[in-house]
Amino acid sequence: MQNWQDYQKQHKDRFLNELLELLRIPSISARSEHKPDMLACAEVVKQRLLEAGVDKAEVYPTDGHPVVYGEKITDPSKPTVLVYGHYDVQPADPLELWHSGPFEPVIKDGKIYARGSADDKGQFYMHVKAFETMVRTGSLPTNVKFIIEGEEEIGSPNLARFVTNNKALLKADVILISDTAMLSLDTPSIDIGVRGLSYIEVEVTGPNRDLHSGVYGGAVANPITILAKMIASCHDENNHITIPGFYDDVVEATPAERELMAKAPYNEKEYMKELGVTSLWGEKGYSTNERTGIRPTLELNGIWGGYTGEGSKTVLPSKAFAKISARLVPNQKAGAITEKLLAYFTKIAPPGVTVKAQEHHGGEPYMTPIDSKAYKAAAKAIEATFHKSPIPVRGGGSIPICSLFEKELGIKIVFMGFGLDSDNLHSPNEKFDVVNFYKGIETIPYFHQFFAEA
Amino acid sequence: MQNWQDYQKQHKDRFLNELLELLRIPSISARSEHKPDMLACAEVVKQRLLEAGVDKAEVYPTDGHPVVYGEKITDPSKPTVLVYGHYDVQPADPLELWHSGPFEPVIKDGKIYARGSADDKGQFYMHVKAFETMVRTGSLPTNVKFIIEGEEEIGSPNLARFVTNNKALLKADVILISDTAMLSLDTPSIDIGVRGLSYIEVEVTGPNRDLHSGVYGGAVANPITILAKMIASCHDENNHITIPGFYDDVVEATPAERELMAKAPYNEKEYMKELGVTSLWGEKGYSTNERTGIRPTLELNGIWGGYTGEGSKTVLPSKAFAKISARLVPNQKAGAITEKLLAYFTKIAPPGVTVKAQEHHGGEPYMTPIDSKAYKAAAKAIEATFHKSPIPVRGGGSIPICSLFEKELGIKIVFMGFGLDSDNLHSPNEKFDVVNFYKGIETIPYFHQFFAEA
């Protein structure tokens, strides 16, 4: 029996090239014109699972983009690990800020630049290659199931039904997800929670058509001005969110937890420098790590209205739009927050405009215990390859399906993220360090080993 | 000698077809990709002037789009009328709201639908055809000069130098402009003033790249949120403009003038119905006509930032932008107001963002006396064809070059507008009523006659 390390050393170039091929498929779930790419990507993922050694793999159609499922059941008496990931990616705009094509992956300074490199193709593919390693070296100690979906970036609207209808198929002892980051290779960490999400779009309509801003300026409400006033009213002078009831269900972190968080390495000067800002901004009374981890937030994701082209146009527009999302913490409910957001924007609309507010998608916040067998196995696996004990941290992002997994399948999730916060997720020039990719592939078999032994 | 009316009746279809051809040229001055169309349009205008009977015509290059000049000097002892107009048009966006192509003119229900139909191709072309009528029927009582420029919609940045350098060429006794509206065919009116304009663009930059709104949401200033707060701060609860010093130089209209304005026909219910709003909006203490005529205003013309495509993207954008313009009244100075606007947005920027604010273009407010020979000739001409005395009104729009004309050439302007406020200037589905086009061509020769006789 060949050992893991040798097998991985021998095949490392192929592992990387396979990932690059996957990154060439523009599987943007939010854009309907990419439907064929989504199907193509799902088929490739299925093929790769089969090549890696699953007994069976299937592309399951949904009302949206398909789910890819694969499994290898070695022995029903052994523990089963369900690996969740997603093959869909965020839109690539603004394209002009990319240094190379978002779907033409390049490796530069040891980093793979491409949309989806870290979020999440590069990360779920570590599991495929770690699985291959264990299968090909005869060392797989668990049963393994893969569920790789195509709608994570749009809130997993169709995965819930798939999970509910396929509980037996998905039965497992733990869910393992690599779709988060660690602090750094020097300071490994494990996310113990993700924030929830509530995402809405607001449309403000003033006059029934675009008007000449000279002829009508001063006579009717300008929808951009009104929308700006509405947005401005969402945060008070301390940057607390003013939506009525927004904080009602928030479970405050304990002083002990806040004390522990304060110990995580954090250099504010470096943080600001890396983001190119001279000052940070956020809710008064909380540190930066707290504001991005244990506190809910409200962010403007997009705004548009009127003339946005070159030069000037003296128009008083008919409509203005905004995309707005909140990140939620335990024990906020995405549905309830969405209702509150929609009600707020509809209610504060002054006479002279009409407001349509609609939901885009949401997801519940999720916390995982750190005393479980699975968490301990993950921590031990990271220690085996990083030679340091990982720090438990709370991540700011969201993985909409987590709470549903727990509710429907009755099992806990462990987040083993190998990305970095600086990976430019959802931004131009998304990247994933090659060394992190390999480190993940190297670490994951240890998880299976320790989880099976525990 | 054939009389005007017969000549016009005989050639009316050709007059209209020539206008339609002019409207097919997408002469959008704000967009650099239309530079060839601008040149082509200028050449066509020159040709049409020659065909109409000018002695000479010329396309003068400038640092921007060319100026077309033409003249017919019948007798140096006769009064000279300088006709000003512009062949450039506003951008056509948003294209999806047009019922037919903006540059594929169609006539429906007696209206010519096309970008530029009323603003200003349809209106300056009335002068060309009225001139042709007088020349061909041997009844031209004046010398006529035409100056048709290509940069009115972007603030006439290069016309000033042309005027300054060509004072002798442009020497005249009155400037006649048809680039405004009248109340209706039943209630003819003459604009006695246009508002000035100050137009700026604001760019707010937060972090140095687009960020994941989960990972960084709550940590750094969101440029959209900041921009919205800045915009919201520009009007107080009474919709007064809060920019320091904004009203300093405003000359209040006299009670007598306001009383006269209040007599203009105005049906608020009809006005709101036509615009599709259930409530009007604007500065407290002033009527709608006052707010669009004698009061300065500040309007948002465009806003954009972050993700504006289909679906959702959880991004915390690096940048947000707005286009903002003020309409000015006597005795505000465009330059001073622009300075105040730029200073305001730069100054109120909170730490954590940087703001770049730049000027697009401006123009001074302009008022014309109603006791001049020229105004009286215009009023008499309108009475001759409309059989009603025109009401003097103050228009809300801007014609940037007016005050410069007066300063450099030492002559007054008369506005003879034949459009309607409902012509959708600067908006989708711009139109010009065929009957107004013909009415203008019919009325203009009377102006020349009465002005020459006075």
pLDDT mean over A31-60:
97
Hey, are the CB atoms on B309 and A209 less than 8 Å from each other?
A: no
Verify cis geometry, omega within 30 degrees of 0, for the bond prior to A236. Answer: no
pLDDT tens-digit map of B418-451: 999 889 998 899 999 999 999 999 999 999 999 9
Question: What's the pLDDT at A73?
Answer: 97
**CA B184 to CA B265: how far, in whole Å?**
10
Which of A194, A307, A316, A415 to mutate to probe the B interface, most B CBs <10 Å? A307
- Whether B53 contacts chain A with CB within 8 A: no
The predicted pLDDT at position A401 comes to 86
Per-residue model confidence (pLDDT) at position A260: 80
Residue B2: pLDDT over 80:
no
CA distances for A414 relative to B228, B357, B416, angstroms:
39, 48, 76
* Residue B249: pLDDT over 50: yes
Residue A97 has pLDDT above 50, yes or no: yes
User: Cα–Cα distance between A132 and A50 in angstroms, integer?
Assistant: 10
As to burial, measured by CB atoms within 10 angstroms (0-12 exposed, 13-18 middle, 19+ buried), residue A199 is buried
Residues 6+ apart with CB under 8 A from B95: B102, B428
pLDDT in tens, B307-350: 999 888 899 999 999 999 999 999 999 999 999 999 999 999 99
Contact B227/A at CB under 8 A: yes
Note whether B88 and B29 are within 8 A (CB).
yes
For B183-239, what is each residue's pLDDT tens digit?
Answer: 999 999 999 999 999 999 999 999 999 999 999 999 999 999 999 999 999 999 999
Token couple for B382? 């309108």
Query: What is the C-alpha to C-alpha distance for residues A328 and A398, in angstroms, rounded to an integer?
Result: 9
β partners of residue B107: B112
Under the banding of pLDDT at 50, 70 and 90, the label for residue A399 is: confident
A79 in contact with B, Cβ within 8 Å = no
Is some CB atom of chain B closer than 8 A to the CB atom of A291? yes
Give mean pLDDT, residues B376-394: 95
User: Which of chain A's residues have a Cβ under 8 Å away from the Cβ of B217?
Assistant: 292, 297, 299, 327, 396
Separation of alpha carbons A433 and A435, rounded Å: 5
Label residues A159-192 b or e (16+ Cβ within 10 Å = b): beebbeebeebbebbbbbbbbbbbbeeeebbbbb
Instruction: Say whether pLDDT at A377 is over 70.
Output: yes
Which chain A positions have a beta carbon within 8 Å of B228's beta carbon? 227-229, 231-232, 300, 303
What integer pLDDT is reported at residue A446 of this predicted model?
97
DSSP conformational letter for A305: E
Which amino acid, residue B297?
T
Reported pTM:
0.86
The pLDDT tens digits for B23-76 are 999 999 999 999 999 999 999 999 999 999 999 999 999 999 999 999 999 999
Is the CB of residue A68 less than 8 Å from the CB of residue A4? no
* Residues paired with residue A205 on neighbouring β-strands, in sequence order: A319, A354
Span A196-250+296-363 CATH architecture: 2-Layer Sandwich (3.30)
DSSP code for A399: -
A208/B275 touch (CB, cutoff 8 Å), yes or no: yes
The answer to whether the CB atoms of A155 and B312 lie below 8 A apart is yes
Mutation choice for A interface testing from B315, B327, B422 by most A CBs within 10 A: B315
Beta-carbon contacts of B172 under 8 Å, excluding residues fewer than 6 positions away, are B80, B81, B82, B143, B145, B409, B411
Whether residue A218 and residue B313 make contact (CB cut-off 8 A), yes or no, is no
Which candidate, B215, B20, B152, B166, places its Cα nearest to that of A426? Answer: B215
**Nearest CB to B214; choose among A97, A195, A361:** A195
Q: How much of chain A, in percent, has pLDDT values that exceed 90?
A: 87
Residues of A in contact with B424 (CB under 8 A): 209-210, 212
Residue B77 token pair: 């002892």
Q: How far apart are CA B128 and CA B79, in angstroms?
A: 18
Q: How far is B266 from chain A, CA to nearest CA, in Å?
A: 13
User: For the segment A230-247, what is each residue's pLDDT rounded down to a tens digit?
Assistant: 999 999 999 999 999 999
One-letter amino acid of A282: G
How far is it, in rounded angstroms, from Cα B423 to Cα B417?
12
Report phi then psi at A329, rounded to 5. -120, 165
Give the pLDDT band (50/70/90) at residue B119. very high
Q: What gap in Å lies between CA A111 and CA A200, rounded to an integer? A: 34
B255 vs B2, which has greater pLDDT? B255
Task: Give the right CATH number for B4-194+366-453 from 3.40.630.10, 3.90.1570.10, 3.20.20.10, 3.30.1110.20.
Answer: 3.40.630.10
Task: Give CA–CA dist A44/A54, Å, rounded.
Answer: 14
Specify the range with the lowest mean pLDDT, choosing from A314-323, A410-419, B248-257: B248-257
* H-assigned helices in B166-234: 167-170, 223-232
State the Cα angle at B196 between B191 and B197, rounded to 5°: 135
The total number of residues written for chain B in this structure:
454
Backbone angles phi, psi at A177, to 5 degrees: -130, 125
> What DSSP designation does B408 have?
H
Asked if B217 and A398 come within 8 Å (Cβ–Cβ), the reply is no
Residues 322-381 of A with CB under 8 A from B: 322-323, 325, 327, 350-353, 360-361
Contact status, residue A423 vs residue A185, Cβ threshold 8 Å: no
How do the domains of chain A map onto residue ranges? 4-194+366-453, 196-250+296-363
Q: What is the mean pLDDT of residues A198-218?
A: 95
Query: What is the overall mean pLDDT for chain A?
Result: 95
Tokens matching residue A276: 């190119």
**CB distance from B319 to chain A under 8 Å?**
no
Residue B1 has pLDDT above 70, yes or no: no
pLDDT of residue A261: 82
Q: How many CA atoms lie within 13 A of A187 on its CB side?
A: 13
Helix (H) or strand (E) run with residue A377 in it: helix A373-386
User: What average pLDDT score do residues B150-175 get?
Assistant: 94
Average pLDDT of the residues in A366-379: 94
pLDDT tens digits, B261-318: 888 889 999 999 999 999 999 999 999 999 999 999 999 999 999 999 988 889 999 9
C-beta atoms of B211 and A426 within 8 A: yes
Peptide bond into B331 cis (omega under 30): yes
- By Cβ distance, the residue of B307, B425, B429 closest to A215 is B425
Residue found under tokens 């913490």: A329
Element (DSSP H or E) covering residue B345:
helix B334-347
- Measure A291 CA to nearest chain B CA, in Å: 5
Average pLDDT, integer, range A116-140:
97
Residue B64 DSSP class: S
Question: What pLDDT, on a 0 to 100 scale, did the predictor assign at position A431?
Answer: 97
pLDDT at A394: 87
CB contact under 8 A, B309 and A93: yes
| Widest pairwise Cα distance in chain B | 83
State mean pLDDT over A263-282: 93
Structure confidence at residue B454 (pLDDT): 87
* Dist. CA A448–CA A80, nearest whole Å: 9
